[in-house]
Structure 1
């Protein structure tokens, strides 16, 4: 015969302070799990949404996978357009985007400075970067910039500091913010965009970092790659944009593995903390447990009742942490080497966080319950 369900619930209410402290401890552990899993899911989403399968990137062979270090000749876009077929061309404009991309120190009107990612672009850029949408303001004119949705997080400043009409300073020049853009969670959202010719003048550079080409259905990335290999004097390489960000996924694989290791370690620490608290809770109930055995309840029923209490506490802590994570953490911007991305508390994160919480309840309650039942009933009844 099992103990009534209400018995375990009433036991939690009999010790409100201990129950509250245990609930807070369990909720804190689960919240840490949500933070780490949200970080992993946000990083993966940012990289997976940043590529376009129809876009080919052409950049320097010497830069390896860091486009910020790439430098190619300014005439390469014209050479690609003339030599390679299959690029999209509409309304007299070829969808080829020459870009200058680099990290530089950016200072706002409050004298707050941070490392920002700046991209010099042309009117062809939004035709190639099809995920980018201007959500506020206008396209930059001379001396103006538009900022991504997560640019403030990358700079470590507030949203108000880079609002429309505010002034930013980088590369020895003042720039006025004319607009804001979003890109569906991709890496572009942490960047600052300005006109290519203005950025080249400010940096005193006439070269480019890369060329992005939008291919038509008849176009071939292999043809672009073949052109790059034949023109060894240009020292350029070509890669599909999706393949480029897939390589970044592999590059950040150790970071993701480290984050999953943190999840395991936090969970293990939570289990040990739960064991400690449950041992303390069961140690003060030795006579109660012995009495239950004396009146006829089997040990299995008592163990299930104690585990029920632990699971109830853990489930409540998981629910509390889940609500806080969805309301406070989901979408929170995080700075990273590649720019910035938003924490993502999705169904996978909720499943992992709540699963860890319930595991804490079961594993934390089971060992102390079994230990308490090993004592002789007569001896336990005489304990203080």
Structure 2
């Protein structure tokens, strides 16, 4: 016969032409693999969306300053005197009026039910100083107006307003014996702050009976590593300050790590169990295909086709079915999940964070790779069996 590649192409074409006569078993493979890929991509899209939301929060030129030893704002504490000293340190940027771009902030949890539910959820309530709006210049009011300093008014992140009850403009909300009026809705480009409620820091401290802040967020005059190192050195030399300084992206990346890793483990675990079932489905399909075409395969080998082309053709057929299943599963995950909104508990802060699923090109490629792996495993044993079956035995039993 001709070259091996030509033989493989000829046998593969024969295999593909017989798929309609084996439509039922072929669909089992396609649907099974589509399920695996759909679940895997959907769950990983949740992790990707959560990571993206936290990773997109902040800029390299901004820092967050916490009490030494604290790994989150909730466990931190910064006294008023310390906050004042931090704002005046060399290296902190200033606005056009010469005021430091540093905001001492309070971060507490308040209870609100999700829309259509009654169970309370932890929602971040952030008290900010006026400089916060100059530091986070990506913040835009999309509805209403800013809160008035000294008054119990709040502005709410757009994702929080969509996820939780009573956060529409004009609504009155009560927390710990204090009532607040929602006067605006803001967006920050989809980052974690859109899951928060903001108010004047001094009013918030009075309402929640706090005497100090929990963090200081500031813009660096120079975003270089040398400038950051100099700021850290200035803090280390001052015995009144026991403060840890982190760039915002680094801080929020740490916050995202625990939950995102847990979601990844869950996604791969579920997908692995489903993949085992899909592999057995592929095995059954390919064994059935070979059994129904036993005489045909034996005849091909009798007229000179080698065993290797037979193995390759069966594997290619299995991979083609897997590829179709992977494409279907990935397409459905993209159609139904990409951009879908969800809020979940951030284990680092024990607060609800709203985010959007993100079905990226990399996740779709990962799903297709899983599909092809299942197809390869499911097609290998039947392919080897087809190549090893004695010609005379196949013709006699057929």
> Which TM-score tier does this pair reach, normalised by the shorter chain?
0.7 to 0.9
Equivalent position of 2:326 in the other structure: 318
Equivalent position of 2:356 in the other structure: 342
Give the alignment partner of residue 26 of structure 1, picking from 8, 14, 33. Answer: 33
Please state whether the residue corresponding to 1:67 is helix, strand or coil: coil
Distance 1:84 1:16, change over 3 A: same
1:145 aligns with 2:154: yes
Equivalent position of 2:394 in the other structure: 380
1:99 aligns with 2:113: no
Equivalent position of 2:3 in the other structure: none
Equivalent position of 1:306 in the other structure: 314
Distance 1:357 1:32, change over 3 A: same
Distance 1:239 1:158, change over 3 A: closer
Name the stretch that deviates more: 103-112 or 305-314. 103-112
Give the alignment partner of residue 173 of structure 1, picking from 155, 174, 178. Answer: 178
Name the stretch that deviates more: 256-265 or 25-34. 256-265
Name the stretch that deviates more: 162-171 or 125-134. 162-171
1:222 aligns with 2:229: yes
Q: Measure the CA separation in 2 of the matches of 1:277 and 1:136.
A: 57
Cα offset, 1:85, TM superposition: 5.0
Give the alignment partner of residue 355 of structure 1, picking from 362, 369, 375. Answer: 369
1:206 aligns with 2:211: yes
Q: Measure the CA separation in 2 of the matches of 1:109 and 1:272.
A: 43
Give the alignment partner of residue 191 of structure 2, picking from 186, 199, 218. Answer: 186
Q: Measure the CA separation in 1 of the matches of 2:101 and 2:184.
A: 23
Equivalent position of 1:331 in the other structure: 339
Cα offset, 1:34, TM superposition: 0.9
Q: Measure the CA separation in 1 of the matches of 2:322 and 2:87.
A: 62
Q: Measure the CA separation in 1 of the matches of 2:158 and 2:396.
A: 67
Q: Measure the CA separation in 1 of the matches of 2:252 and 2:209.
A: 29
Cα offset, 1:292, TM superposition: 3.5
Give the conservation status (yes or no) of the 8 Å contact 1:33–1:267.
no
Please state whether the residue corresponding to 2:339 is helix, strand or coil: coil
Distance 1:205 1:86, change over 3 A: closer
Give the conservation status (yes or no) of the 8 Å contact 2:307–2:388.
no
| Superposition TM-score, scaled by structure 1 size | 0.84
Structure 1: gaps spanning 5 or more residues:
none
Distance 1:296 1:222, change over 3 A: closer
Matches within 5 A, 1:24-173: 24-62=31-69, 64-84=70-90, 86-91=92-97, 93-107=99-113, 111-141=118-148, 142-151=151-160, 158=163, 162-173=167-178
Give the conservation status (yes or no) of the 8 Å contact 2:308–2:387.
no
Structure 2: gaps spanning 5 or more residues:
1-6
Cα offset, 1:26, TM superposition: 0.8
Give the conservation status (yes or no) of the 8 Å contact 2:36–2:271.
no
Q: Measure the CA separation in 2 of the matches of 1:262 and 1:297.
A: 42
Give the conservation status (yes or no) of the 8 Å contact 1:225–1:239.
no
Name the stretch that deviates more: 31-40 or 112-121. 31-40
Q: Measure the CA separation in 1 of the matches of 2:329 and 2:47.
A: 18
Distance 1:104 1:284, change over 3 A: farther
Name the stretch that deviates more: 119-128 or 30-39. 30-39
Matches within 5 A, 1:231-242: 231-242=238-249
Cα offset, 1:211, TM superposition: 0.9
Cα offset, 1:65, TM superposition: 0.6
Aligned length: 379
Name the stretch that deviates more: 256-265 or 352-361. 256-265
